[in-house]
Each structure stands twice: as C-alpha cells, then as structure tokens.
C-alpha cells in the first residue's frame, strides 16, 4: 500500500486490501479487508459503511499495512487482531489459546437454559469449564447469568492468564476461578453444569488441517490422540465424582464423534439426554446426565 498517498479513505483502503487479499488466494478477501480495517480503525461495520470517505491517516495506514502483510502470509484475521468476538464478548487471544469458533456458540446456547433452570430451582448455579482456553464458554455463560459462578481449568498456565484477563475485562472475575488442572486432577467439589470443548482432532489428521488452524492454534488445543477421543475418555472416567446428582455435562464433539462419545460415557454411567448437530448437519454437542439422575 502506498503510504505517501495523501487522499487515502476507508473505501480506497478496503478496495486495495480486497484486491491484494484476492491475489494472495484468501478465501474471503472482502470480509477480511473489512474486519481488519474496521478493527484497526476501531470502527464497526455500520460506521465504516456510513463513512467511506473518512480519511485514513499515515499511522493508521501503517498499522493496516502491517496487518495486511501478516494476512497475506497466511495468519488468520483474528490472530492478527488478537481478539475474537464470541457470544457478544470481544475476547482477547494469546498464542496459548484456541481462537474460539462460532460452532462453540451452539454449546453456549444449549447450556444457557440448562444453567438458568438450575438457578430457577436453587437460586445459583456452579459451572465447571474443562479446557477453558480464552474462557469463552464459561465467560459467555457468566455474562448471561448473574447467579452463576465458574471454575475454569486448563492444562496451560498461559491460557489461564488470558482467560483471567478476559474475565477481568468483562467484570466477571469475582465469579470466575481459573485452576491449572489436567482435566479433573486439580478440581474439587460437585458442579451443576460441566462444560467442555476438549481437543478432538485425530493426531493423524492434524497435518491435513487448514494451515490457518494447524499453524496458529496451539497443538494442545487440537490434538485428541490417535482416535481423537483421549480427552473424552479422561473426562468420562472422572466426571461422576464432580457432577451434582441432577447435573448436566455438556460437551462439544468433532463432526463424526457422537456415537463414539456416547458409548464412552455410557460405559461410565451417563445417559445422553440430547445430541445436537450444527447447521451443516455435523455432530456438535452432547448433553449427558448421570444414569441415576431423577430427571433422566
Ligand atoms: C479445543 S480448546 C477449547 C478452548 C475453549 N474452551 C474454547 O471453546 O474456545 C481445548 C482446550 O483444552 C485445553 N487442554 C488440553 N489438554 C488438557 C488437559 N489435559 N487438561 C485440561 N485442559 C486441557 C487446551 O489448552 C485448550 O485450551
């Protein structure tokens, strides 16, 4: 981009970026040009559309140029911005955290009424989020349900630092307790709702992932072992000791993993209450109760 251009405007910058991204083979050049420009100018989409002639000054243009270079080198837009919107929260990302995905919002949509029903019965709801990353799932739930509190675990101390900072930014830290833990190892007590989006990619399929995933999301957030089910096995083995009798365990899964995950939890005394697919018809979320629950 020519930084000596004295008449740079939002419309010109976006058009140039769009062409450049298309030349680099980026799948959605227009969308990426808009998201990057908007975020770096601190403008939402409407504000950008309403003021195409707003000048872009040289400092702003330099920032956009640096981001464009990274994007053309294959770095995902939200990694460049170190920020991703999830269920209405602008979450900070770090190298140690997965970029939260829209698919995971389905899990939050399923968990919300379940947690709200617990609040309706008892006035409060305790949530355990296993493998919290940015804190996406449990911060979204805490933001919606003021009577809920959460313990959020991760094996990565760096991820927990990011999650803790996100909780502070949203004023949720008094109800958010980060705990470093290998699944349940460092967890005490019983919870009304246990949520998790664990790593579930088969190790042998990691190499075939899109470079934007494989090269930028942390491996510990992706690799689910040889059959992709290691984390589910670990969670199924110990969930019984941490779920309230009428509690619910809500898990995200890979696109073809429902049957295998249901079988694993069945072996450990859990009944599948519902299975949810995403708009593409892929397996996405499972809800389990204890087999001895009275509300099965
Ligand atoms: C797929 S990411 C999900 C992150 C976040 N919950 C989300 O949905 O965006 C899986 C998370 O599990 C964490 N993790 C991996 N192995 C773990 C283990 N043994 N115990 C606890 N957390 C683990 C990773 O560090 C990562 O943050």
**CATH number of the domain within which 274 lies:** 3.40.50.150
Atom of ligand 1 nearest to the CA of 185: 20
For the chain, how many structural domains are there in total? 2
Q: Quick one: 27 and 52 in the same domain?
A: yes
Give the gyration radius of the chain's Cα atoms.
21
Same domain, 88 and 71: no
Q: What is the mean pLDDT of the chain?
A: 96
Residue 148 beta carbon below 6 angstroms from any ligand 1 atom: no
Domain range for 239: 84-290
Residues 67-120: tens digit of each pLDDT: 999 999 999 999 999 999 999 999 999 999 999 999 999 999 999 999 999 999
Beta bridge partners of 193: 127, 248
pLDDT tens sequence across 215-239: 999 999 999 999 999 999 999 999 9
Helix (H) or strand (E) holding 104, with range, is helix 102-122
Kindly state whether residues 113 and 62 are assigned to the same domain.
no
Nearest residue to 10 via CA among 51, 67, 62: 51
Rounded Cα gap, residues 115 and 126, in angstroms: 8
Q: Is the CB of 197 under 6 A from ligand 1?
A: yes
Compute the distance between CA of residue 146 and CA of residue 143 in angstroms, rounded to an integer. Answer: 7
Dist CA 247 CA 128 (whole Å): 11
| Tokens standing for residue 184 | 């349940």
**CB of 176 within 8 A of CB of 138?**
yes
Q: Is 1 inside any structural domain?
A: no
- 244 and 152 part of one domain: yes
Indicate the pTM of the whole model: 0.94
Could you tell me if residue 220 is inside a domain? yes
């Amino acid at each position: 981009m020519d930084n000596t251009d004295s008449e740079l405007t939002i419309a010109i910058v976006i058009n140039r970026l769009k062409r450049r991204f298309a030349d680099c083979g980026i799948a959605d050049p227009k969308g990426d040009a808009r998201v990057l420009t908007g975020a770096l100018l601190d403008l939402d989409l409407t504000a950008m559309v309403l003021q195409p002639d707003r000048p872009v000054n040289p400092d702003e243009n330099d920032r956009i140029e640096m981001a464009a270079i990274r994007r053309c080198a294959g770095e995902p837009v939200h990694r460049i911005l170190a920020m991703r919107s999830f269920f209405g929260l602008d979450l900070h990302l770090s190298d140690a955290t997965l970029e939260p995905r829209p698919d995971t919002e389905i899990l939050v949509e399923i968990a919300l009424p379940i947690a709200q029903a617990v609040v309706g019965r008892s006035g409060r709801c305790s949530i355990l989020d296993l493998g919290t990353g940015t804190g996406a799932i449990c911060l979204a739930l805490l933001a919606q349900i003021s009577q809920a509190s959460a313990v959020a675990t991760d094996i990565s101390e760096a991820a927990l630092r990011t999650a803790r900072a996100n909780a502070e930014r949203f004023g949720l830290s008094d109800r958010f307790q980060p705990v470093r833990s290998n699944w349940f190892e460092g967890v005490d007590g019983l919870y009304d709702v246990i949520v998790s989006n664990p790593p579930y990619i088969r190790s042998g399929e990691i190499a075939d992932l899109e470079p934007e995933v494989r090269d930028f999301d942390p491996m510990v957030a992706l690799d689910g072992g040889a059959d992709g089910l290691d984390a589910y096995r670990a969670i199924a083995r110990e969930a019984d000791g941490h779920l309230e009798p009428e509690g619910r365990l809500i898990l995200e899964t890979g696109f073809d993993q429902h049957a295998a995950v249901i079988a694993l939890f069945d072996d450990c005394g859990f009944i599948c209450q519902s299975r949810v697919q995403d708009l593409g018809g892929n397996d996405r979320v499972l809800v389990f109760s204890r087999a001895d629950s009275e509300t099965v």
